[in-house]
Amino acid sequence: MPHVISKAVIPVAGMGTRFLPATKAMPKEMLPVVDKPAIQYVVEEAVSAGLHDVLMITGRNKSAVENHFDKVGELEAVLRSKGDDEKLDKVRYSTDLADVHYVRQGDPLGLGHAVLRAQMHVGHEPFAVLLGDDIIDERDALLTRMLQVQADLNTTVVALLEVDPSQTHLYGIATVEPTGEDDVVRVTGLVEKPPPGEAPSNLAIIGRYVLRPEIFEVLERTAPGKGGEIQLTDALQELAQGPAWTGGVHGVVFRGRRYDTGDRLDYLKAIVQLASDRGDLGPDFRGWLREFVETLP
Ligand code: UTP
Give the ligand 1 atom nearest the CA of 59.
25
Do residues 130 and 195 both lie within one domain? yes
- Other Cβ atoms closer than 10 A to 2: 11
Do residues 67 and 14 both lie within one domain? yes
Domains: count for the chain: 2
Structural domain contains residue 2: no
pLDDT for 142 equals 97
Query: Helix, strand or coil for residue 259?
Result: strand
Q: How far is the CA of 79 from the centre of ligand 1 (A)?
A: 36
Q: How far is the CA of 42 from the centre of ligand 1 (A)?
A: 15
pLDDT for 60 equals 77
Q: For ligand 1, atom 27, name the residue with the nearest CA.
A: 110
Cα–Cα distance between 234 and 14 in angstroms, integer?
18
Do residues 32 and 156 both lie within one domain? yes
Under 8 Å between Cβ of 283 and 49: no
Structural domain contains residue 226: yes
Structural domain contains residue 107: yes
Tell me which residues of the chain have a pLDDT lower than 70: 1-2
- Other Cβ atoms closer than 10 A to 197: 9
Bond prior to 21 in cis (omega within 30° of 0): yes
Structural domain contains residue 111: yes
pLDDT for 62 equals 78
Mean pLDDT (the chain, rounded):
94
pLDDT for 2 equals 62
Residue closest to 93 by CA, chosen among 54, 41, 154? 41
- Other Cβ atoms closer than 10 A to 186: 17
Do residues 107 and 131 both lie within one domain? yes
Under 8 Å between Cβ of 205 and 233: yes
Amino acid, single-letter form, for residue 188: T
Structural domain contains residue 281: yes
pLDDT for 174 equals 97
Beta strands in the chain (DSSP E): 7-11, 32-33, 36-37, 53-58, 99-104, 127-130, 134-136, 156-162, 172-178, 184-192, 203-211, 249-253, 258-260
Structural domain contains residue 236: yes
Q: How far is the CA of 270 from the centre of ligand 1 (A)?
A: 19
> Which residues constitute the domain of residue 167?
7-258
Structural domain contains residue 45: yes
Do residues 274 and 231 both lie within one domain? no
Under 8 Å between Cβ of 135 and 263: no
- Other Cβ atoms closer than 10 A to 19: 19
Query: Helix, strand or coil for residue 287?
Result: helix
pLDDT for 222 equals 95
Q: For ligand 1, atom 2, name the residue with the nearest CA.
A: 14
Do residues 251 and 274 both lie within one domain? no
- CA distances in angstroms from 266 to 179, 257, 262, 290, listed in the order given: 32, 12, 8, 20
Cα–Cα distance between 230 and 217 in angstroms, integer?
13
User: Integer distance in angstroms from the first to the last C-alpha of the chain?
Assistant: 60
Structural domain contains residue 1: no
Over residues 148-199, the pLDDT tens digits come to 999 999 999 999 999 999 999 999 999 999 999 999 999 999 999 999 989 9
- Other Cβ atoms closer than 10 A to 287: 10
Do residues 156 and 293 both lie within one domain? no
Query: Which domain CATH number covers 224?
Result: 3.90.550.10
Do residues 27 and 171 both lie within one domain? yes
pLDDT for 1 equals 57
Do residues 109 and 196 both lie within one domain? yes
Q: How far is the CA of 131 from the centre of ligand 1 (A)?
A: 8
Do residues 134 and 270 both lie within one domain? no
Do residues 55 and 189 both lie within one domain? yes
pTM (2 decimals)?
0.95
Do residues 214 and 287 both lie within one domain? no
